[in-house]
């Protein structure tokens, strides 16, 4: 088992060592993600993040439905490091959001006022209109989540949520993940998730709001992992262990 502050970086280094050893020459294909996960004792999410790291370094080419192919050697001048030590893996970031925002939603359900509900309803309408028009930005998605944090009337919590969104927007790894996702129809499911969160908030139901937010971000993680899956075999759902909201 790998023990490091950033598991995906440690795994990325191990995979680069395999490339340097000549075990996987240029043009060869890496083992399926599930095999890498089992070999190194990590989750599929960590494997996916490590592959994104190598892809940003121009060492591999991820071909959806076909696999991961080596395109450069580690010593090749074409390989240019484009990641930074503080770049959080996209699934690690989502897990942090899941833990934080589910509890924020629960607290917001006890603090929000009528105008907060009106603002959230307007944000969902803006999100619906954006999807209908074909926009691919996440501005209205972010707005909805920020309004929930704002409804807590706690500026520290609001700032924490904002900082996580900023890290997401500035993350080369997050951006690279989304280059593999062409079909945007999944975002309609997220809009429905938002409606369920809002309904719980309207009912001033802390447990319901907590569960709805937890499940929404769980759905986001699972959807992004599935849509960016590179293996040619069927997606098996072996991702990473999530703690059910009922056990929090």
Residue 184, domain CATH: 1.20.120.530
Cβ count within 10 A of residue 203: 11
CATH of the domain at 48: 1.10.10.10
Quick check: is 248 in a domain?
Answer: no
Domain that holds residue 175: 90-228
Give residue 192's pLDDT.
96
Quick check: is 59 in a domain?
Answer: yes
Asked if residue 40 and residue 148 are part of one domain, the reply reads: no
Quick check: is 190 in a domain?
Answer: yes
Asked if residue 223 and residue 110 are part of one domain, the reply reads: yes
Predicted confidence (pLDDT) at residue 3 exceeds the cutoff of 70:
no
pLDDT tens string 194-215:
999 999 999 999 999 999 999 9
Predicted confidence (pLDDT) at residue 73 exceeds the cutoff of 90:
no
Quick check: is 210 in a domain?
Answer: yes
Asked if residue 151 and residue 181 are part of one domain, the reply reads: yes
Asked if residue 37 and residue 104 are part of one domain, the reply reads: no
The residue among 72 and 134 whose pLDDT is bigger is: 72
Quick check: is 46 in a domain?
Answer: yes
Quick check: is 75 in a domain?
Answer: no
Asked if residue 200 and residue 110 are part of one domain, the reply reads: yes
Quick check: is 234 in a domain?
Answer: no
Predicted confidence (pLDDT) at residue 29 exceeds the cutoff of 50:
yes
Predicted confidence (pLDDT) at residue 117 exceeds the cutoff of 60:
yes
Asked if residue 212 and residue 134 are part of one domain, the reply reads: yes
Quick check: is 141 in a domain?
Answer: yes
Please give the tally of structural domains in the chain: 2
Asked if residue 223 and residue 107 are part of one domain, the reply reads: yes
Asked if residue 98 and residue 62 are part of one domain, the reply reads: no
How confident is residue 236, by pLDDT bands cut at 50, 70 and 90? very low
Decide: 49 and 8 in contact? Cβ < 8 Å.
yes
Percentage of the chain beyond pLDDT 70 is: 85
Asked if residue 66 and residue 99 are part of one domain, the reply reads: no
How confident is residue 180, by pLDDT bands cut at 50, 70 and 90? confident
Percentage of the chain beyond pLDDT 90 is: 61
Q: Is the pTM of this model over 0.85?
A: no
Give residue 159's pLDDT.
97
* Residues 136-165, mean pLDDT to the nearest whole number: 95
Which residues make Cβ contacts (< 8 Å) with residue 164, sequence separation at least 6? 93, 96, 97, 100
Give residue 230's pLDDT.
67
* Burial profile 158-193: b = 16 or more Cβ within 10 angstroms, e = fewer: bebbeebbebbeebebbebbeebeeeeeebeebbeb
Asked if residue 126 and residue 61 are part of one domain, the reply reads: no
Asked if residue 94 and residue 205 are part of one domain, the reply reads: yes
Helix, strand or coil, per DSSP, at residue 70: strand
How confident is residue 83, by pLDDT bands cut at 50, 70 and 90? low
Give residue 225's pLDDT.
84
Predicted confidence (pLDDT) at residue 144 exceeds the cutoff of 70:
yes
Asked if residue 42 and residue 129 are part of one domain, the reply reads: no
* Residues 18-27, mean pLDDT to the nearest whole number: 91
Predicted confidence (pLDDT) at residue 70 exceeds the cutoff of 70:
yes
Residue with tokens 């690690």: 92
Range picked from 73-82, 167-176, 220-229 for highest mean pLDDT? 167-176
The residue among 154 and 62 whose pLDDT is bigger is: 154
């Amino acid at each position: 088992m790998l023990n490091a502050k950033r598991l995906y970086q440690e795994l990325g280094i191990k995979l680069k060592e395999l490339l340097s050893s000549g075990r996987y020459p240029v043009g060869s294909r890496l083992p399926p993600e599930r095999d890498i996960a089992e070999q190194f004792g990590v989750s599929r999410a960590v494997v996916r993040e490590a592959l994104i790291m190598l892809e940003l370094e121009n060492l591999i080419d991820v071909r959806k439905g076909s696999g991961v192919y080596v395109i450069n050697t580690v010593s090749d001048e074409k390989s240019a490091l484009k990641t930074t030590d503080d770049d959080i893996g996209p699934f690690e970031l989502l897990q942090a959001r899941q833990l934080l925002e589910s509890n924020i939603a629960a607290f917001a359900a006890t603090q929000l006022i009528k105008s907060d509900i009106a603002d959230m309803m307007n944000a969902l309408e803006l999100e619906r209109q954006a999807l209908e028009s074909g926009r691919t930005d996440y501005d209205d998605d972010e707005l909805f989540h920020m309004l929930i944090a704002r409804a807590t009337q706690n500026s520290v919590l609001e700032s924490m949520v904002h900082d996580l969104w900023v890290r997401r927007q500035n993350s080369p790894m997050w951006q690279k993940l989304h280059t593999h996702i062409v079909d945007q129809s999944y975002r309609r499911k997220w809009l429905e998730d938002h409606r369920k969160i809002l309904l719980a908030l309207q009912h001033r139901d802390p447990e319901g709001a907590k569960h709805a937010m937890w499940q929404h971000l769980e759905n986001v993680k699972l959807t992004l992992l599935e849509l960016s899956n590179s293996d040619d075999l069927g997606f098996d759902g072996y991702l990473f262990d999530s703690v059910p909201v009922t056990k929090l």
